[in-house]
Copies of this chain bind each other. A is one copy, B any other.
Amino acid sequence: MPTEASSVPAASSEETPLAQSFAATRALSEALVEPLSDADATIQSMEDASPAKWHLAHTTWFWETFLLRDHVPGYERYDADWPFLFNSYYEAEGARIARFSRGLLSRPTLGEVLDWRAAVNEAMEPLLSDPACKDLIRLGIAHEQQHIELLLTDIKHALWHNPLGPAMWDAAPGPSAPAGEQGWHEHPGGIALVGHDGSAPDEAFAFDNEGPRHRVLLEPFALADRLVTNGEWAEFIADGGYDTASLWLSDGWAWVGETGARAPLYWREGEAFTHAGWQKRDPHAPVTHINYFEADAFASWAGMRLPTEFEWEAIARGQDGSASATAHDACAGNQLDDAAAPAPRGGKELFGDCWQFTRSAYLPYPRFRPAAGAVGEYNGKFMSGQFVLKGASCATVRGHSRASYRNFFYPHQQWQFTGLRLARDL
């Protein structure tokens, strides 16, 4: 993946960290689509995924709507017809095209969208130092960082449908080192503090669904010190994992029956599909692109269980940027790691290889209140039927990961970099 400084606006010495972060995030979005043609950026492979161009435009719509329209007197929209195309799901912001029609938007072109982005970036400049906009800008940056990850996973899904197996980038060099025997992070249980404290003055940004910070009661438990690997998953398959009803949740077994699933998404004989095309599968790398049903069945097979989101967070706290003095620095380091296709590597870190399923449903924390207005539609309205995932994946923007972050997906979804870290009772 190209990370040339040239594509990132140079931060002048006077720039605030927020302005730097804005500029870097916007630049990263654009750097990621450099290997894509207008057509690549237009296609949509399923209703859950959006075209790359749509991500570029939707994030721009967000800035134009909630910042420029609402905070720049007399601002006129770049194109009055585009909000209908690029609103995602904000009911308060009016009608929008059906989700699955996003893949039919050959116009505006990728070039026109990039022009719009440049115009919005320029118009944003005065607001970047306006204290009244600080919170919304931090939200907008976080929002665009999320879409950067979706852009990466959505385009991977789209390219995978092409029998030619197109690559966006070169693969990272060499296979991983053996993962080694799995150890455990042990925890004695008791009262723990979880969630993000939005009211702390120097606290880094967090979404509304990460708070309020509150106490939970934990039983003694242990969390694996590394992720489950492709090699271990192959053993699960060889042992009849996908043929053994007793390992599966009822809905999961139905999903196996309907889809005929026999392996994670993107696997084929000895290979896995990546942003670098079809590649030899690395047995030492963390398994990814599994869904909740698969993660839960594997844990049953292994005689273990999935952790709760609170167990995971109790182990992670202290290891993430949000609790450290360098939080803002971490947020500013908003480049993906390397100049190659995102791929999980070590598996030892809590953050950065893949999202890890918890057995916690995605539900509101005590005293949770969504923000007022359209931006309040951000997180709360998705609180049914989904599970929480913790950590961050190889496609997550650095600095966007923290212990309190709550990602969430439906139990059948596989197209994210989703993996598995085991837990057990003590």
Which A positions have Cβ atoms within 8 angstroms of B? 37-43, 45, 81, 84-85, 89, 91-92, 97, 101, 103-110, 158-159, 161-164, 166, 191, 214-217, 219, 245-246, 248-253, 292-293, 296, 305, 359-361, 363-364, 366-367, 377, 381-385, 387, 411, 425
Contacts and interface: CB of A to CB of B under 8 A. Distances in A.
A367 B42 CA distance: 48
Contacts of A97: 163
Nearest to A212: B219
B43 A219 contact: no
Contacts of A246: 91-92, 377
10 contacts: A37-B106, A85-B163, A85-B164, A101-B161, A219-B366, A249-B384, A250-B382, A360-B363, A384-B411, A385-B411
A160 to B, nearest CB: 9
Given A381-B249, A385-B411, A105 B366 contact: no
Contact of A249 (B84, B105, B162, B382): B382
Contacts of A84: 163
Given A39-B39, A81-B163, A219-B366, 20 more contacts: A37-B39, A37-B109, A39-B109, A42-B106, A43-B104, A84-B163, A85-B163, A91-B246, A91-B253, A104-B161, A106-B162, A107-B162, A191-B217, A214-B219, A215-B217, A248-B381, A250-B381, A251-B384, A252-B384, A361-B361
Nearest to A248: B381
B361 A363 contact: yes
Nearest to A382: B250
A214 B159 CA distance: 48
A300 B363 CA distance: 15
A217 B216 contact: yes
A383 B249 contact: yes
Q: Which of A38, A85, A359 has the most CB of B within 10 A?
A: A38
Contacts of A425: 366-367
A45 B104 contact: yes
B43 A43 contact: yes
Contacts of A293: 384
A250 B40 contact: no
A42 B37 CA distance: 11
A246 B380 CA distance: 11
B43 A106 contact: yes
Contacts of A245: 91-92
